[in-house]
């Protein structure tokens, strides 16, 4: 179990300080796929960086810490303070636009074995890497290539290979597939899921695609304007969301072959520099009242395991009735069968 305790993560800019993650408290169980969604700029990548422990200028931690729930080789609990030493072995990160994060002038094989965990045994590790790479649908020669000699999909598979090779307990994947075409996207996701099933680790997946989340995650975290607004089991969250923002995100989900009108998401999130008083979602919320514009709702456990930061969480299911044109969830597979079929058909 990973515990986040009141995380406030701050960027220092020329204009001043701005909190891109603002008071996030959370417990993430082991061995699940957890999805993170929310519009651009709501702090998803910043939260990933904090959990990875990649905190350095201009990003700093103004409050809180992460407790990873295990001890290191010296018997010390692993926290934000010392997580860096566990990179690759216990936690790995596939950053947003990670395809361009491979070093262009270093062969893949050298990038693979060039981190602290392999010190003194590079040859041995390289032999293991050569055996591992074909399992990920990569030709064995890929390991000897320079990044530019590989396609985007292959480079992304290399990133997945690097992030999974040491079988870390936690894999953070920040939109690992956005730059790729749809078939490659799906096959990369399946690859990650296969590895997760085999290794039983925790994956935290950032994606804008609520359909992908519905298909592959067990828990969902919805962020809005640097805060968590809803956190619940994926089934519950999709069937009966307890935050109007979640409902609107789900309703804006396009379903293939469904030509009914979509309730998109009118308006845009507030600037981090000009946060409204009270609930940050109130200016866009169909349920908002004077109370919402005055008092910020805390994230509360409204039902067992169901967290929502809304004064009117109990009214959200009714709102769902009035907004009729939601996607027909029954048309989206709630497992990976559809993904697998799509990939097999299209390849």
Residues that bind ligand ATP (CB under 6 A): 11, 13, 20, 38, 40-46, 58, 96, 272
Confirm if 317 and 287 have CB atoms less than 8 A apart.
no
Least Å from the CB of residue 59 to ligand ATP: 7
Per-residue mark of binding to Mg ion, 72-111 (x: CB under 5 A):
------------------------x---------------
- Identify any residues that bridge with 345 across adjacent strands, giving them in sequence order: none
Confirm if 149 and 109 have CB atoms less than 8 A apart.
no
| Binding partner at 154 among Mg ion, ligand ATP, none, C-beta below 5 to 8 Å by kind | none
Least Å from the CB of residue 18 to ligand ATP: 6
| Binding partner at 322 among ligand ATP, Mg ion, none, C-beta below 5 to 8 Å by kind | none
**Is the bond into 146 cis (omega within 30 degrees of 0)?**
no
**Which long-range contacts (C-beta less than 8 Å, at least 24 apart) are formed by 38-41?**
38/222, 38/223, 38/224, 38/249, 39/224, 39/265, 39/268, 39/269, 40/208, 41/269, 41/272
Per-residue mark of binding to Mg ion, 38-77 (x: CB under 5 A):
------xx--------------------------------
CB closer to ligand ATP out of 45 and 201: 45
What is the residue whose two structure tokens read 């074909």? Answer: 134
CB closer to Mg ion out of 170 and 173: 173
Q: How many residues bind Mg ion (CB under 5 A)?
A: 3
| Binding partner at 244 among ligand ATP, Mg ion, none, C-beta below 5 to 8 Å by kind | none
- Identify any residues that bridge with 19 across adjacent strands, giving them in sequence order: 10
Least Å from the CB of residue 132 to Mg ion: 28
CB closer to Mg ion out of 41 and 64: 41
Least Å from the CB of residue 316 to Mg ion: 26
CB closer to Mg ion out of 41 and 69: 41
**Which long-range contacts (C-beta less than 8 Å, at least 24 apart) are formed by 298-302?**
299/25, 299/227, 299/228, 299/229, 299/231, 302/242
217 binds Mg ion per the rule CB under 5 A: no
| Binding partner at 58 among ligand ATP, Mg ion, none, C-beta below 5 to 8 Å by kind | ligand ATP
Confirm if 1 and 28 have CB atoms less than 8 A apart.
yes
CB closer to ligand ATP out of 37 and 162: 37
Q: b/e for 55-91, b at 16 or more Cβ within 10 A?
A: eeeebebeebebebbeebeeeeebebeebeebbbbbb
């Amino acid at each position: 179990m990973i515990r986040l305790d009141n995380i406030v993560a701050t960027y220092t800019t020329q204009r001043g300080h701005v909190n891109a993650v603002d008071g996030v408290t959370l417990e993430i169980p082991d061995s699940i796929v957890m999805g993170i969604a929310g519009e651009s700029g709501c702090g998803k990548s910043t939260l990933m960086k904090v959990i990875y422990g990649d905190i350095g200028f201009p990003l700093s931690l103004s409050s809180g810490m992460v407790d990873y729930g295990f001890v290191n080789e010296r018997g010390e609990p692993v926290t934000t303070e010392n997580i860096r030493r566990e990179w690759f072995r216990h936690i790995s990160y596939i950053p947003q636009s990670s395809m361009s994060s491979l070093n262009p002038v270093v062969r893949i094989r050298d990038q693979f074995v060039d981190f602290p965990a392999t010190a003194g045994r590079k040859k041995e590790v390289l032999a293991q890497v050569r055996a591992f790479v074909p399992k990920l649908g990569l030709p064995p020669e890929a390991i000897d290539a320079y990044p530019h000699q590989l396609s985007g999909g292959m480079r992304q598979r290399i990133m997945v290979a690097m992030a999974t090779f040491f079988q870390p307990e936690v894999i953070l994947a920040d939109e690992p597939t956005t730059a790729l075409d749809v078939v490659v996207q799906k096959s990369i996701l399946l690859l990650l899921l296969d590895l997760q099933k085999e290794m039983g680790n925790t994956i935290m997946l950032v994606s804008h695609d609520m359909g992908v989340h519905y298909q592959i995650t067990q828990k969902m975290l919805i962020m809005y304007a640097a805060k968590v607004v809803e956190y619940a089991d994926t089934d519950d969250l999709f069937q009966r969301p307890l935050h109007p923002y979640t409902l609107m995100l789900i309703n804006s989900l396009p379903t293939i072959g469904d030509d009914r009108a979509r309730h998109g998401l009118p308006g845009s999130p507030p600037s981090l520099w000009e946060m409204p008083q009270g609930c940050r979602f109130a200016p866009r919320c169909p349920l908002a009242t004077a109370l919402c514009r005055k008092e910020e709702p805390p994230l509360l456990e409204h039902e067992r395991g169901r967290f929502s930061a809304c004064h009117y969480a109990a009214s959200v299911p009714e709102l769902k009735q009035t907004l009729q044109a939601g996607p027909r969830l029954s048309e989206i597979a709630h497992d990976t069968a559809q993904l697998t079929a799509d990939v097999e058909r299209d390849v």
